[in-house]
Structure formats: structure tokens, C-alpha cells
Amino acid sequence: MELINHLNITENDVITITGGGGKTSLMFALGNELSAQKLTHVMTTTTKICIADVPEAQCLIRNKMSDIITEILKDPKRNWVIGKEKNTEAKISGFSEAELNSLKQAIVPLVILNEGDGSKRKPYKFYKDYEPSIPQMTTILIHVIGAETLFRKIDDQTFHRAELFGNNQMIFNEEILKKSFSDFIQNKLDNTLNKTATRVLFINKADGENYSNAQIMAKTGAPLFDRCLIGSLKEGWVENIK
């Protein structure tokens, strides 16, 4: 897929992934590409992520960042998933921005891949005031949405926190899509991200009959973001739209 090239990722980037419809899959796909290029990196979260399918040798769970740093320096090219704690549901909690900054200072160069959002495995979501969790150190923000959401009814089968929209009889059309993106940018990104950070829209699951949906969504969303990609992580392809 060459996601690294499509996203212009450099060896010191901090990448935060938000939205729904493939955040964790995208993070692991990026991690695999970074490993193939032997670039030192870690995968983590500022919320919680499930690591049930991650090999134990790849997981590094420590309460103190100093212990994390010590272990990474022993094997800096491993495809590490780091976290502070692991609960009974095989989910890990991540570190504060201050702790991630100390990691960046201790290991140079280092790419941080951070999942900054939760969507209960739904292809998109609506936001509470405290969401998402985006570190100010983020250099690339990737907002993910599943192409299958277009023209779907806004209910909890497709959308996480659908009740926040307030009308489960509405259809998620281009107008609502544009408003959702605009609200996310104005209320979340403009108040959090550094002005130099790159804002990327990634429309995932653009395979099969959803390809036309992805094109419509890209036409609506691309003008609002610095970059726009459509693709299918499942099929292993991506296209630059902007």
C-alpha cells in the first residue's frame, strides 16, 4: 500500500488516528510498513485499544515510562505496542502527553503511532465534549471513516454514540457528512492541533460497491482537510485524492 509514502511520514512524526472504520487496522498497517523500513516506532493510545490479537512478545506494558524506554532501547526495531495497564478485556490504557514527550526525548528518531479515539468497532461516531484525545505534539492527524456509512440511517448499528445526533430517522447523506466533518474540525482540531500539523481524511472500506460512496465522500470531505485518501485496508490499496 505504501501508506508511509502516501502520508509523507518522516522518522520523527507523531501520528494520531481518530474517527471509526479502521483506526486500529490502519495503525498496525503503518507499524508493519515502518518495521519493513527499519524505522524505530511505537504504537500506543491516549484512550484504550484492544490487543487481544497482538502477539505477547510485541506488547510492552509497564506503569513507568522509564521502564518502557529501557526495554525499547534493548530492541528498538521491534514493532512495539506500548501501554500503561492492561485490563481483563485485553485492552490497554496509554500514557499522558508529558510521558510521550519524555519518550520522544529519550529515543531519537522515533515515530509514534497513537490511536486517539474509540468507536466500539463502528464505522463512524459522534463526539462527546471530552473526545477525542489528541496530543498537541501530533504532527499528522488522520481522521478515518468507513465508506459504507454514506446513505445509512443514523442509528447505533452503524454509528457510535448515535444518540448524540438526536434523530435516528435521519440518513447520513452528503449534507450531514459535511456538517459532521466541519463540526469535528472546528470544535476538536482547531482547538487542539498545532497549526503546522497535517490533517488527513482517510475513507476506508472503499472496496466493491462502496467505491462510489468513497468518491462522493471524498468530493465532500477533501476541501476540508489538507489531504484526502480513499482505500481498503482489507484489500491492501490506497488512492490519493488530494
Q: Residue 158: is its pLDDT beyond 90?
A: yes
Residue 113: strand, helix, or coil: strand
What distance in Å separates the CA atoms of residue 138 and residue 126, rounded to the nearest whole number?
A: 22
Residue range 178-206: average pLDDT?
96
pLDDT tens per residue across span 179-191? 999 999 999 999 9
Q: Where are the alpha helices (DSSP H) in the chain?
A: 3-6, 23-36, 65-74, 97-106, 174-184, 190-192, 210-221
Element (H, E) at 196: none
At position 139, the amino acid (one-letter code) is T
Q: What is the pLDDT of residue 1?
A: 80
Q: Residue 56: is its pLDDT beyond 90?
A: no
Q: Residue 75: is its pLDDT beyond 80?
A: yes
Q: What is the pLDDT of residue 167?
A: 67
CATH number of the domain to which 192 belongs? 3.40.50
Q: What is the pLDDT of residue 221?
A: 98
Q: Residue 7: is its pLDDT beyond 90?
A: yes
The answer to whether 224 and 177 are in contact (CB under 8 A) is no
Residue 104 main-chain phi, psi, to 5 deg: -60, -35
Domain residues for the domain of 186 are 3-240
Place of cell 503511532: 113
Residue 99 main-chain phi, psi, to 5 deg: -70, -40
- Grid cell digits, residue 46: 491516549
Q: Residue 84: is its pLDDT beyond 80?
A: yes
The answer to whether 198 and 227 are in contact (CB under 8 A) is yes
Indicate the length of the chain as a whole number: 242
What distance in Å separates the CA atoms of residue 81 and residue 103, rounded to the nearest whole number?
A: 14
What distance in Å separates the CA atoms of residue 42 and residue 20, rounded to the nearest whole number?
A: 21
Contacts of 89 (CB under 8 A, 6+ apart): 50
Residue range 99-127: average pLDDT?
96
Report CA 227 to chain centroid distance, whole Å: 15
Output the DSSP codes for 55-99.
Answer: -GGGEEE-SSHHHHHHHHHHSTTS-EEEESEE-TTSEEE---HHH
Sign of the dihedral defined by the CA atoms of residues 64, 117, 147, 123, in that order = positive
Number of domains in the chain: 1
Lowest mean pLDDT among 34-43, 86-95, 137-146: 86-95
Q: What is the pLDDT of residue 28?
A: 95
Contacts of 198 (CB under 8 A, 6+ apart): 8, 139, 140, 141, 226, 227
What distance in Å separates the CA atoms of residue 6 and residue 4, rounded to the nearest whole number?
A: 6
Higher pLDDT, residue 91 or 15? 15
At position 233, the amino acid (one-letter code) is L
pTM for this entry? 0.96
What share of the chain has pLDDT > 70, as a percent? 99
Read off the pLDDT band of 166 (50, 70, 90). Answer: confident
